[in-house]
Amino acid sequence: MDFDLIVIGSGFGGAMAAAPAVFAGKRVLMIEAGDWVERGPHNWSYEEFFENAPAFERRNSLSVTAEGKSGPLPTFNCVGGASVYFGGVSMRLREADFQPAPEIDQDSGAEWPYTYADLEPFYSEAETLLHVAGSAGVDPTEPPRSRNYPRPPAPLARISARLSDAARALGLHPFPLPLSINYSTENDRTPCQTCGTCDGYACAVHSKNDVATVLIPRLQRAGMELLTDTRVVAIDHRDGRAFGVAALPASGQVARRFGARAIVVAAGTLETPRLLIGSGLDKINTAGDAIGRYLMRHCNAVVLGVFPTRPAPDQEFHKQIAIHDYYFGHPTVTAPSGRLGSIQQFATPKGWILRKRFHGLGRLAGLGAPWTTGFIVMAEDRPSHDNRLEPQAPSDPMTGWSVTHDYDARDRAARDALVGAAKRILRRAGALPWCPVINIPSFSHAVGTVRLGKNPRTSPLDEFGTFRGVGNLFVTDGSALPRSGGVNPSLTISANALRTGHHIVKRLESSL
C-alpha cells in the first residue's frame, strides 16, 4: 500500500477526517478536484462572488429540477471546498436534534446513531481547530459544552445592536453568532477587516478561518501529501475491501492509481454518492437504494427590511446575531407544530445581487440595496426518499447525473412562520412595512445522501461512518448527516468527520 489513508476531498469533511491520522504520524494522501483559490483584493469583486467564482465548477455534468425549475447545478471545486466561501457561522446542533422528531422523520428511517454527548468532544475539537469566536451561555437552546469558545466574539455593529434591541423588545433572546473569523493579531495573522464581503466570497486577507487557511497548510507541514486538480473517478474494491483509487489529473487523460489501507470519501453531498454508485459500491451495501436519496438543503429565505436611512452606512460586516426562540416551535405558531428552525442576521446585500434576483425590478432593487438589511431564516426540512441524485443513464453512471428536489408543505410552512417572525423584528427596528422575501435556490447546505444510521437496511453508514459492506471505506462529508437540523451544517460535518477520523486511527493501529 502506498498510503495508510487516502482522503477524497478537502472541505470540512475531508480536512477534519484527515487531521487525526496526520497528527498521529500516518501516511496520508488528500486528493482534491480543484486548486488553491488565489487570495487578494480581487476577491472583493462581483466576479469572485459565489456562483461567479472560478471555483464554482460548471462542467460537472449535474442538472437539477427543483421547485419546478430546471438547469445546471454547479459545485465548488477548490482546496478547502465550500468552506472557502462559507459565511463563517459555526453552530452546534441542539442536544434534542439527535433524538427522534416524528414531525420531521415521518417514515424516512432517519436517525442519529449516536447522541449529542457522543459528539460533544469533537464539537469542541472542531471549534478549536477553526478558532471559533463566540459567547457561551447566551443562546437559550445551547446544548451542554465541555469547553468555552476559543475566542470571544467581536463587538456588535450598530445595525446588529439595533436589531438585537428590537428582538428583545418583542420578548425574544438574540445572541452573538459563533463565527470562524479571526479578530486577533496572534501568529502574525491579519484580523478581520469588517469589509462586508464574507458570506459567498473567499477572504482576501485570510481572516476567515476556512480549512484552506487554518488547517490544510498545517496538515501539509505535518507530512500530508496534497494532490490538486485531480478528480477521483473510481474506488477500487474487492471482497469487501477498498484497496485504492483511480485519479484523473485535469491536464491528462490517463488515470493514476494510488493504494491505501483505508479510504475516506468526502467529495461533497452531491459528488460522493455518484462516486460510490459509479464505482459499483451501491450493489454491495445493505442500504444501497438509499445512496443518493434523502437529499436535504434547508428551506431558506432572506427577509429584507427597507429602512429610511442606510442601516450600515460604512458597509461594515454585520452578520452577527441569531434568534433561536422559534427553533423547537413557538406559542404564536400553531401550524406547523414542532420544530421550525433558526433566524440569523443577513448582511446588507450588494446591489448587483438584488439586480439579478429581482429581474425586471432589478435596477431599482439594486439602487435601493444600501437601504436594506435583514435576516436569513433556516427551516429544518424533512428527509424524503424522492429527493435524490441519480445517473441519467444507469449503464454509464459517470457521464451525466440529475438532481431532483422539492420541499413539502410542512417545509414551506415552517419557513413562512420564521419569515413572519423576522418581519416583526425588522419592523420593530424601524423598517418600512413592506419587507421583500427572497427564497434561496442554493444547495450550499446540502446533506443526507449517504446517511449514518443504526438500521443497516436504511442507512448506508454505521455510527462511525463506515460504508456498510466495505470495512475500510468511510464517508465524512455532509452526505453522512441523517437530518439537516435548523443550523448551518459546517460544524456538525467537522465534528462528525473528526469522530470518524479518530476511529480510523484506532483501526489503523489495530491493523484494520
Tell me the pLDDT tens digit for each residue of 228-251. 999 999 999 999 999 999 999 988
Return the closest-CA partner of residue 7 out of 275, 396, 282: 275
CATH code for position 42: 3.50.50.60
The three three-digit cell numbers of residue 249, written as one number: 489529473
Pick the more confident residue, 264 or 185: 264
Q: Is residue 22 part of a domain?
A: yes
pLDDT in the model for residue 314? 81
Evaluate if residue 45 carries a pLDDT over 70. yes
Which pTM value belongs to this model? 0.97
| Mean local confidence (pLDDT), 270-291 | 96
Evaluate if residue 362 carries a pLDDT over 70. no
The parent domain of residue 400 ranges over 3-64+74-509
SS3 state at 496: helix
The three three-digit cell numbers of residue 376, written as one number: 436569513
Q: Is residue 69 part of a domain?
A: no
Evaluate if residue 188 carries a pLDDT over 90. no
pLDDT in the model for residue 217? 98
Contact indicator for 403, 66 with CB cutoff of 8 Å: yes
Domains identified in the chain, total number:
1
Q: Is residue 267 part of a domain?
A: yes
| Mean local confidence (pLDDT), 78-86 | 96
Q: Is residue 404 part of a domain?
A: yes
pLDDT tens, 191-202?
999 887 888 999
Distance, CA of 345 to CA of 323 (rounded, Å): 9
pLDDT in the model for residue 398? 64
Q: Is residue 47 part of a domain?
A: yes
Q: Is residue 193 part of a domain?
A: yes
Return the closest-CA partner of residue 93 out of 445, 406, 455: 445
pLDDT in the model for residue 50? 83
The three three-digit cell numbers of residue 354, written as one number: 438584488
Pick the more confident residue, 352 or 264: 264
CA gyration radius, the chain: 22
pLDDT tens, 87-143?
999 999 999 999 999 999 999 999 999 999 999 999 999 999 999 999 999 999 999
pLDDT in the model for residue 59? 73
φ, ψ of residue 329 in degrees (nearest 5): 110, 170
The chain-wide mean pLDDT, for the chain, equals 94
